[in-house]
Every structure is written in C-alpha cells, then in structure tokens.
Amino acid sequence: MNKLLSRIQRVDSLLCVGLDPTGEDAQVVGRLTEVIDQTAAYAAAFKPNLAFFLSRENGVALLRDTIQRIPQDIPVILDGKFGDISNTADHYARFAYDVVGADAVTVNPYMGDDAIVPFLREGKMVFVLAKTSNKPTHSLQDMALTSGGVLSDQAARISGKLDEENGGVGLVVGATQPEAMARVRELCPTQWFLVPGVGAQGGDLAATLRAGLRPDGLGVLINSSRAIWQAADAGAAAQELMMQINEHRRAAEPAVSQG
Ligand SMILES: O=C(O)c1cc(=O)[nH]c(=O)n1[C@@H]1O[C@H](COP(=O)(O)O)[C@@H](O)[C@H]1O
C-alpha cells in the first residue's frame, strides 16, 4: 500500500497498465520491453495477466523477466484470479510473491475467506473480485441474498472485513456498470478498487470515476490492457488515458477543496 501510494503521488496517476501480451513468441519480449519502457512514466501500477504468460513455452520465466524489467518503485499486480483452499492458496502466494516477485494479486473469493487469507502478507496487496466487468447482468454475482443485497455485496463485505483486520485488501470492480460500482463504494468507502473495463470493453470512464473515486480523489486504479498493447504508440495511449483520468478527478473534486 505504501509503495502504491508513493508511486501515485510521485507521478500523479491512477493508471494501471495491463500487460496481456498477445502475438508470436519471437516478438513478444520486444513488445513487452517497449510497452513497459514507453508507459512506465505514466503508470501507477502494472498488471500482468497470468494466462497470457502461461499460454507460452517458458511463460513463468517470461513473467519473472517482465516483472524484473518494471522499475522497482512501480507496484506489480499479478492478475491470476487465484482462489483455491488454503494450503493450495499458500503455494499460489509463494509463486506470485517469491517466484515471480509480484507486489499484489487478484483473488477469487468464491471459496471463502480461507482462499484469500494466504495472500495477506506484510508489504503485499490483495484485490478481491467483487463485481466483475464481463457481463451487464451476472447470474452468480447478481444473485439475491436472503439477508438482502446480492452476492457481489458479500464479496465486498468479506474484503472489507479482511482489510479492517489485516490492511492491504482492495477489490476488483469492473468499469462497465457504474451503478454497481457506486453500490460497492457505498459498502466499502475507503478501500482501493482495481478497475478493468475501460478501453476495449467500452466502460464509461467519467461515470466510473464519479461512482468509484473517494472524496480525496484516490481509491481507484483504472486498468487498460488491449487498448495500450495494441496502440501504435503505447506511451502516447497511456499518457492520454492518464490525463483523461486526471481531468475527471479534478472535475470531481468537492467544491470545498477549491477554496
Ligand atoms: O481482475 C481483472 O483484472 C479483471 C477483472 C474483471 O472484472 N474484468 C477484467 O477484464 N479483468 C482483467 O482486466 C484486463 C482487461 O483487459 P482489457 O479489456 O484489454 O483492457 C484483462 O486482463 C482481464 O482479465
């Protein structure tokens, strides 16, 4: 969390650069290097997605080298959507933190708290899937609870409780449904949200930030993967998105802070 906060302050950015490397193995190292080097100045964090590495020969080595290429002061969120029982989760945590050197992970809470707890470590962060970007209505996450609310609310509550007890626990909330984001923000007023779904998935950036930003103009990391990876000039694409995010942040600042 400290690493994330100091990085955000240093570059004044809430942009998370997603690394979902597509293309031939022969070109992919070069493109990863190019994207990291060109976008690092605008990145609050990088988010390599594990699937895009594991689908290649030597994918683990490629992932480790990629994380090493990222400047030390920029947090790396390994997007593995891990979610197994505790002793197995412990091995995923060792993989993420000790083998490849990530600072944070994404975790699927379907198996409950014990699927999340092994990832809680001093100096590391965990983003728990709450309301994902993939479907406008979701047969599982939108399921009504007998106690009121929907299942994704419960994921948010679990992450809130773990954050209160341990610190370092955020949520994944997609950018494709600002109303759902507003609801999760109400349930979790202070936690950090990792927000995928702008760019290739068409999420509305302004509405997303209005719904998700905390009053201090922080609390949200906006991820973009394909829109940056596929851009002719990845640096320009990252800078443009960072500036758009900041414009909306400034516009959303409460009047009281403007004097
Ligand atoms: O956990 C994630 O990062 C994630 C959660 C979610 O709800 N939706 C979602 O798209 N993602 C990931 O975020 C990235 C989105 O990529 P783009 O749509 O190309 O920007 C991919 O790596 C997805 O796996």
**What is the CA(47)–ligand 1 centre distance, in A?**
9
Confidence at residue 254, expressed as pLDDT on a 0 to 100 scale: 56
Nearest CA to ligand 1 atom 11: 196
| CB of 223 sitting under 6 A from ligand 1 | yes
Domain residue ranges of the chain, discontinuous segments joined by + = 2-248
Report d(CA 255, CA 214) in Å as an integer. 14
Q: What is the DSSP string of 211-254?
A: HH--TTS-SEEEEESHHHHTSSSHHHHHHHHHHHHHHHHHHHS-
Cite the beta strand spans of the chain per DSSP E: 15-19, 45-48, 77-82, 104-107, 125-131, 169-173, 193-195, 220-224
Q: Do residues 187 and 151 make contact, with C-beta atoms less than 8 angstroms apart?
A: no
What is the value of pTM for the model shown? Answer: 0.96
Q: Residue 32 in 3-state DSSP?
A: helix
| CB of 174 sitting under 6 A from ligand 1 | yes
| CB of 176 sitting under 6 A from ligand 1 | no
In this prediction, the answer to ipTM > 0.90 reads yes
Confidence at residue 95, expressed as pLDDT on a 0 to 100 scale: 98
Amino acid in the structure at residue 108:
N
Residues with active-site annotation: 81
Give the mutation target among 49, 126, 176 for probing the ligand 1 site: most ligand atoms within 8 A of CB.
49
CATH of domain 2-248: 3.20.20.70
Question: How many CB atoms sit inside 10 A of residue 184's CB?
Answer: 26
| CB of 21 sitting under 6 A from ligand 1 | no
Helix (H) or strand (E) holding 122: none
Report d(CA 121, CA 58) in Å as an integer. 27
Low-confidence stretches of the chain (pLDDT < 50) are 255-259
Phi and psi at residue 247, to the nearest 5° = -60, -45
pLDDT tens by residue, 198-215 = 999 999 999 999 999 999
Confidence at residue 243, expressed as pLDDT on a 0 to 100 scale: 98
| CB of 201 sitting under 6 A from ligand 1 | yes
Confidence at residue 259, expressed as pLDDT on a 0 to 100 scale: 35
Nearest CA to ligand 1 atom 13: 196
